Structure 1
């Protein structure tokens, strides 16, 4: 089961990194119009929107500040530890 725990932990880590990239992209002045930059922009937004939208309903953006990623990261860490704990108990 050690390989399963490692794999699941890696999936959580990758998703966390994609959320962090999303946070960094929010400081970009505007999205690129075409090319690889636009593909990365679309991938990051489409990969994280479904998760962040849950928290945006709880904490709507305050002007230009969106605090939902903070709550999303905290919940992701809690879920990660619970899932890895459950996998470790088998």
Structure 2
């Protein structure tokens, strides 16, 4: 029984870590998007383009779900904030179910 409890805790901790990493990726994508919207430019290089493409490819499918239902209020796009909050609420429920 102790091994099962340890395994469940390890899986729950892994899911929490995944949630944290995905949240950081979304926040990094939001900040890079804001930087480019105000006219910022990063000099072209392969590694920076690869990082920016990765952030977009990983974040945009999840955020586009919320952008369909939540219209932007002027220059503010509130869908990432709601997406992150919902991610953490559902993730916390899943983690609690895994822990038992």
Q: Report the TM-score when normalising by structure 1.
A: 0.89
**Partner Cα separation in structure 1 for residue 42 and residue 92 of structure 2:** 34
Of Structure 1 and Structure 2, the greater helix share is in 2
Structure 2: segments with no counterpart, 5+ residues: 1-7
Structure of greater Rg: 2
Match of 2:22 among 12, 15, 36: 15
Between the two structures, name the one with larger relative contact order (CA 8 Å, sep ≥ 6): 2
Q: Number of matched residues?
A: 89
Q: Report the TM-score when normalising by structure 2.
A: 0.80
Q: Secondary structure at the match of 1:62?
A: coil
Cα root mean square deviation, aligned: 1.5
Q: Say if 1:38 and 1:32 are closer, same or farther in 2 by CA, change over 3 A.
A: farther
